[in-house]
Structure 1
Amino acid sequence: MSPLLQGVLTIIIGVGGCIGYFYFSNILLDKVFFPDSGKNAARNITRANRVRPWLFLFPAMFALSLYLVYPVVGSFWRSLFNRSGDEFIGLGNYMGLLDSPDFHTAFFNNLLWVVFVPAASTLFGLLAAQLTDRLSWGGIAKSLIFMPMAISFVGASLIWKFVYAVDPDIGLINALRDFFGMEPLDVLQLAFWNNFFLMVILVWIQTGFAMVILSAALRGIPEETIEAAILDGAGPFAVFMKIKVPQIMGTIVVVWTTITILVLKVFDIVYTMTGGNFGTEILPSYMMSFMFRDDGRATAVAFVIMLVVLPVMIWNIMQARKEMK
């Protein structure tokens, strides 16, 4: 069967199935379970209206349970077995992680990524949004800053691999060092600091995302508040820090948490640049090192990543609810 025909059949079956489900479920609800005629018609209609929203939500809830809840529960259960999956060892895999120096390194590096990348991306995005709005050619500048977002993580890593190259004829950093008479340096092998050189790549990519969102938020600030601050004698810096930033704090939080969640899942950059060597291991790459040789340990690391992401998600939801009040 051709891909085009498969696509058409998928659309027909999917859309037709949804329409059929809602149509026949309404008939069953109104005609069979809670008949809308007879002496109990009024009470049945009330009951049917209470059930109907859950009837419409059922497909989405079923899909979420099948593709989200079940894998989480299944992964946790799998993490309680040994590498071959035939012996129950309880929390043995998790205790092994706590005793592993490599896990400590990966976890610490992940914390560095979580602190540095969202902060730097949001800060540079906010500055770029503010400064480009004041330029006549700000649209061009925004396009150039946003352009890295169109590049995959692997592609961006290969670009920066040339920037960090040891050969002064290729690497920009070592070309500058050679210009000043300094010896070539492989920055990707610098203990501790090589993590920041990898983080720069993600900051370079995500600054454009932060800039676009924050630029829209800055444009939504009422001009009256800015004019009032200027009339009261506030300078440009005071207007920016005390008038604009507080009014878009909700957007800043959303951008920050969105990038944080992305950081906790990033894998491509580390795998492409160093393969997790030279002390650059992070939790996703550490998980991949066990994926094909110790499934129990790998699922344990995956569950740890989920637990790390969960507080950020909960906090983000709480902030969103506060904004809606």
Structure 2
Amino acid sequence: MIKAIEERRSLPLKTATPRKRFGLTPWLWIGLAVLFVAIFLVYPLFFTIWLSFLDATSTRFVGLRNYLLIFTNPSLLEVLRNNLLWLVLATVATVVLGLLIAVLVDRVRFESVAKAAIFVPMALSFVAAGVIWRFVYEYAPPGQTQIGLLNALLTALGGQPQTWLQDSRFNNFALIAVYVWMWTGFCMVILSAAIKGIPSEILEAARCDGAGEITIFFRIIVPMISPTIAVVTTTMIINILKIFDVVYVMTGGNYGTNVVAVDYYQQLFNFNNFGVASALAVLLLLAVIPIMYFNIRRFRVQEAQR
């Protein structure tokens, strides 16, 4: 034993190998990434902000005139009101319906089939969904064959066909219904996964204490998945603020249905008004940034708590 220890002591000591230097390769890759971000993100951002202070032809500095026009022109004010209507109704409808369906579907026998059926609209593009629902809302004068499903049902029940996409009383709600139909499945899947993460022992203990299902829903389920509800809600808000496809395909922004993204497109490509178009883009960016900051901050808090 002593001899073995002495032999080990006699072995030469291994010196620490010097840290390998990577040279310029990592800096080259980082530099390419920074250059890519600068060209395709930073430069367009600041250039758009600069254009928002110029006139329609981008030849004369006009200061805040484009922004004042947005908040004083009746048609542009209607655009902002429509976006606000979308923001409130579509967000509340998708999150609330997604949460309710997530709770109810967890109790049915064919849970996976039901979830798949509700999630199917997410597989469609906004353009495809707009085309499908345009046929649903299709209108023909009274006395003619109704091609649209909704008007066909109305006439079959003895009612009169309605111009769903042209009548300002209905059209914005009809468009919002398409968005809700598409995105409720997304909210349902995310919230259902959060609900399944609640320990079953907590729910069973509440039932043993005599709590009803409604009490369990509001006192246990909703508080425990509130971080997920917040993330889903902010995701919906960001999507709704930049809604474009459904409105453009179904009405083209006509009949009082225009929204910020569609009006931005029209100002830029139809009217060649680069100043107002850039101002609309900047306002849209300013509306999205606080929500993105809220999401990032929440993620950091959750990571710090783990």
Task: Name the counterpart of 2:188.
Answer: 211
Task: Name the counterpart of 1:303.
Answer: 282
Give yes or no for the alignment of 1:230 onto 2:207.
Answer: yes
Q: Choose which of 20, 26, 29 in structure 1 pairs with 2:22.
A: 26
Sort the Cα spacing of 1:238 and 1:177 in 2 relative to 1 into closer, same or farther, 3 A: same
Equivalent position SS for 1:27: coil
Q: Which runs of 5+ in 1 are unaligned?
A: 1-23, 30-51
Q: Choose which of 150, 157, 160 in structure 1 pairs with 2:123.
A: 150
Superposed counterparts of 1:80-95, under 5 Å:
80-95=53-68
Counterpart Cα distance in 1 of 2:31 and 2:108: 51
Task: Name the counterpart of 2:228.
Answer: 251
Task: Name the counterpart of 1:221.
Answer: 198
Counterpart Cα distance in 1 of 2:156 and 2:209: 51
- TM superposition shift of 1:62: 4.3
Which stretch shifts more, 310-319 or 244-253? 310-319
Task: Name the counterpart of 2:267.
Answer: 290
Superposed counterparts of 1:94-243, under 5 Å:
94-167=67-140, 169-243=146-220
Counterpart Cα distance in 2 of 1:253 and 1:185: 37
Q: Which amino acid aligns with 1:27?
A: G
Equivalent position SS for 2:165: helix
Give yes or no for the alignment of 1:319 onto 2:298.
Answer: yes
Q: Which runs of 5+ in 2 are unaligned?
A: 1-19
- TM superposition shift of 1:26: 2.8
Q: Which amino acid aligns with 2:134?
A: K
- TM superposition shift of 1:172: 2.4
Q: Given the two structures, how large is their TM-score scaled by the length of structure 1?
A: 0.80
What per-residue deviation string (whole Å, max 9, x for no partner) do you get for residues 27-51 of structure 1?
259xxxxxxxxxxxxxxxxxxxxxx
Kindly report the root-mean-square deviation, in angstroms, between the aligned alpha carbons of the 2 structures.
2.1
Sort the Cα spacing of 1:231 and 1:118 in 2 relative to 1 into closer, same or farther, 3 A: same
Structure number with the bigger relative contact order (C-alpha 8 A, sep ≥ 6) is: 2
- TM superposition shift of 1:136: 1.5
Counterpart Cα distance in 2 of 1:71 and 1:88: 18
- TM superposition shift of 1:238: 1.4
- TM superposition shift of 1:170: 2.1
Counterpart Cα distance in 2 of 1:246 and 1:55: 48
Q: Which one has the bigger helix percentage?
A: 1
- TM superposition shift of 1:160: 0.8
Is the CA contact (8 Å cut-off) linking 1:106 and 1:282 kept in structure 2?
yes
Counterpart Cα distance in 2 of 1:61 and 1:225: 49
Q: Which amino acid aligns with 2:194?
A: A
Counterpart Cα distance in 2 of 1:259 and 1:288: 22
Counterpart Cα distance in 1 of 2:127 and 2:179: 11
Sort the Cα spacing of 1:217 and 1:59 in 2 relative to 1 into closer, same or farther, 3 A: farther
Question: Which entry has the higher C-alpha Rg, 1 or 2?
Answer: 2
Percent of counterpart pairs with the same letter?
43
Counterpart Cα distance in 1 of 2:36 and 2:137: 45
Sort the Cα spacing of 1:69 and 1:217 in 2 relative to 1 into closer, same or farther, 3 A: same
Task: Name the counterpart of 1:79.
Answer: 52
Task: Name the counterpart of 1:263.
Answer: 240
Sort the Cα spacing of 1:28 and 1:268 in 2 relative to 1 into closer, same or farther, 3 A: closer
Equivalent position SS for 1:275: coil
